[in-house]
Amino acid sequence: MSFIAAGAEILEDLVALRRDLHAEPEIGLDLPLTQAKVLAAIDGLGLEITLGKETTSVVAVLRGAKAGPTVLLRGDMDALPVKELTGLDYASTNGNMHACGHDLHTAGLVGAARLLAARRGELAGNVLFMFQPGEEGHNGAGVMLGEGLLDATGEEPVAAYAIHVGPGPMGVFMTKPGPVLAGSNELHVTVRGVGGHGSQPHLTKDPVPALLEIGTALQTMATRKFNAFDPIIVTVTQLSGGEALNVIPESASLGATVRTLSVASTEKFAAESKQLAEGIAAAHGCTATVEFVVTYPVTHNDPAATANTLEVLRGQFGEERVVQMETAMMGSEDFSLVLAEVPGTFISLSCSPDGLDLSTAEFNHSPRVLFDDSVLGDQAAALAQLAFSHLGPQEA
């Protein structure tokens, strides 16, 4: 039986699991309810289970009938602090929401574990299932790596794969070699001057105009000092200054998210933004302190692994359902930390419900975003087939 047919047979169970996860989402690194549901769902599959110490992760190892390499499959489990507005009958009511589809990722990985366990006798090697908390800005992948994730089978994986759902035509897989997602970075700038009365700015060194000028100049810098074919995105999302309307504050600050697609542009922005902020502040008689933090590096797909991914998926699902992307997406992922250690591929899978206008469909992180969980059978089959391409019998 093909993995696609086998995935269809377990679809009902996977949908039930996904909806159970969706109704009780948890955020961050501590997901006890989610962990318990995952453990119940993979119970009886003969997997070697290791639980996280600093987080509620689940590392599950499936050992094949014969010795061989290890392949890692990842599913992230955490939700977002978003109040759900979908109107679904299984919608969350606890103030959190699986607005990024991690409930599908978790259920899909459970499905892959079931499909591969059923064909354990054909496997020459091991499958390492990575059920990960804390992807949404909590460095969950980094924590799991620090706790020895890659040593779980006794040897480092030869390949790693993850599938992430999003809006778009139902059941279309998308990926590309090289940079596929941007690196995520934080910029914090604080301008310090001399405060005073709002009616007498000439007696002060007002940090607010300097800060506003820096915010505007950052946008110009992004388009004038960086190659359009190695683009960056700078979005100022936080501004803070004084509290009283008639008081010029001593200091003012901004925060921005910065997305980059290469190490070179990341390093260049760190240097250029510091020079720019300090220069503008000095022109206003103020000083500036600049902090630049790399949160997640660029998610980089290994070219050879991604060529294999495209071939495997096209062989299973047909050319019309597999697209090689032309450009990277500017979102970020901590699976980048895994791909920095193991060659592999990060894959997008679109799954908007039928009848939804794709031109106006809400995107991930929206309180109204919708995903069609009938894709779960194919999602599980795709992950299973990718692992099988390394560990299963190869056609002559």
Catalytic residues, by residue number, are 76, 136
Q: What is the pLDDT of residues 12-55, one digit of tens each?
A: 999 999 999 999 999 999 999 999 999 999 999 999 999 999 99
The rounded distance, in Å, linking the Cα atoms of 110 and 157 is 19
Q: What is the pLDDT of residues 305-344, one digit of tens each?
A: 999 999 999 999 999 999 999 999 999 999 999 999 999 9
- CB-based burial label for 238 (10 Å; 0-12, 13-18, 19+): exposed
Which residues neighbour 184 within 8 Å (Cβ) at sequence distance 6 or greater? 257, 258, 259, 295, 296, 332
Mean pLDDT of the chain: 97
Instruction: Name which of 380, 261, 319, 299 is nearest 12 in CA terms.
Output: 380
* CATH 2.60.40.1120 for the 3-179+299-391 domain, yes or no: no
**CB 47, CB 129: distance < 8 Å:** yes
Res 11: pLDDT: 98
Rounded average pLDDT over 134-154: 97
pLDDT reported for residue 176: 98
pLDDT tens digits for 51-70?
999 999 999 999 999 999 99
Q: pLDDT by residue (tens digit) across 159-211?
A: 999 999 999 999 999 999 999 999 999 999 999 999 999 999 999 999 999 99
Distance CA 346, CA 360 (A): 25
Give tens-digit pLDDT for 260-290.
Answer: 999 999 999 999 999 999 999 999 999 999 9
Q: Spell out the domain ranges in the chain.
A: 3-179+299-391, 183-296
| Count of helices and strands (H, E) across the chain | 10, 16
pLDDT in tens, 364-380: 999 999 999 999 999 99
- 395: confidence class by pLDDT, cuts 50, 70, 90: low
Query: Residues 208-240: pLDDT tens digits?
Result: 999 999 999 999 999 999 999 999 999 999 999
CATH 3.30.70.360 fits 183-296, yes or no: yes
CA angle (271, 277, 278) in 5-degree steps: 90
How confident is the model over 243-262, as a mean pLDDT?
A: 97
DSSP character string of 68-82: EEEEEEEEE---BS-
The pLDDT > 90 percentage for the chain reads: 98
Q: What is the rounded CA–CA span in Å between residue 160 and residue 71? A: 6
Q: Do domains 3-179+299-391 and 183-296 have the same CATH topology?
A: no
pLDDT of 396 reads 44
- In this structure, what token pair is assigned to residue 142? 């980094």
Query: What is the average per-residue pLDDT within 131-157?
Result: 97
